[in-house]
Amino acid sequence: MRRTIHDLRRLAATRKLASLTCYDASFAGVLDDAGVDILLVGDSLGMVIQGHASTLPVTVGDVAYHTRAVARGARTAWIVADMPFGSYQASPEQALGNAVELMQAGADMVKLEGGEEMAATVAFLVARGVPVCGHVGLTPQHVQTLGGYRIQGKDAAGAERVLAGARAIEEAGADMLVVEAVPHSLAERIVARRRSLVIGIGASAACDGQVLVLHDMLGVTSGKRPRFVKNFLAEGGSVDGAVRRYVDAVRSGAFPGPEQVYADEA
């Protein structure tokens, strides 16, 4: 039986939650068997599956297709589907139509990027029965306006923007929040006053859980890797072994270590 958000909250009270991106039924089964709590059908598929330079070309149809595949392979893990660029920014009504498509494809929750400017949309979705995961800090769909994949919240003004965004999204009703590529002290401030489950990626071990792109965790992504990535296949010996090592490291708090988070002066 698939987990519920209430199950995840109960688990988070006793241990950290392990999350990975997933795009197909075969890996969904492997990850599920290894104890991964949350499977994210990420728009990262545009880069690691489709070969694009960013996530921007990904469509709702792409995410729905992969969500259906993951839903067929998963038995217990909670499934989160990314809402791709352009699928929710125009209006809350646009967001609802696309969120419904992803939920009908098998998602338990949808994820969208942004802070205060997206709060009304989050509230609109939640009021209509759509569970929402927010995403603050480094938001890859904003890569062009951010000037690249840069750490966010390094100065006081930037930190306040991230904090305000996280607060607005949570107050709007989001049950989960991804915090990406911010100084660890800023992530800890978000965690200290959280209302939702906080999942970190390049944030802090204090978060309720961690997420990585599957291909990054397996060390098969080419090019320069972000600081927060660790190749677990190098030590795991097999795909299953790598996933289990990742799950164990997240649950125990060993990952991320100091080398995978950003200091205030980073």
Give a yes or no: residue 222 inside a domain.
Answer: yes
The average confidence (pLDDT) of the chain is 94
Give a yes or no: residue 263 inside a domain.
Answer: no
Tell me how many domains the chain contains. Answer: 1
Of 190 and 151, the structure prediction assigns the larger pLDDT to: 190
pLDDT of residue 145: 60
Kindly report whether the peptide bond that precedes residue 183 is cis, defined as omega within 30 degrees of 0. no
Give a yes or no: residue 264 inside a domain.
Answer: no
Give a yes or no: residue 226 inside a domain.
Answer: yes
pLDDT of residue 223: 75
H-helix segments, the chain: 5-12, 25-33, 45-48, 60-73, 92-104, 119-127, 143-146, 156-171, 184-192, 214-217, 233-236, 239-252
Q: Give yes or no for a contact between 177 and 144, defined as CB atoms under 8 angstroms apart.
A: no
Give a yes or no: residue 266 inside a domain.
Answer: no
Catalytic annotation, residues: 180
Q: Is the pLDDT reported for residue 181 higher than 80?
A: yes
pLDDT, tens digit (0-9, with 9 covering 90-100), for 104-135: 999 999 999 999 999 999 999 999 999 999 99
Question: What's 153's domain CATH number?
Answer: 3.20.20.60
Q: Is the pLDDT reported for residue 248 higher than 90?
A: yes
The count of other CB atoms within 10 Å of the CB of residue 1 is 6
Give a yes or no: residue 26 inside a domain.
Answer: yes
pLDDT of residue 146: 56
pLDDT, tens digit (0-9, with 9 covering 90-100), for 193-234: 999 999 999 999 999 999 999 999 999 987 778 889 999 999
Give a yes or no: residue 210 inside a domain.
Answer: yes
Q: What angle do CA 239, 242, 247 make, to 5 degrees?
A: 125
Kind plus residue range of the DSSP H or E element containing 133: strand 132-137
54: containing domain: 5-257
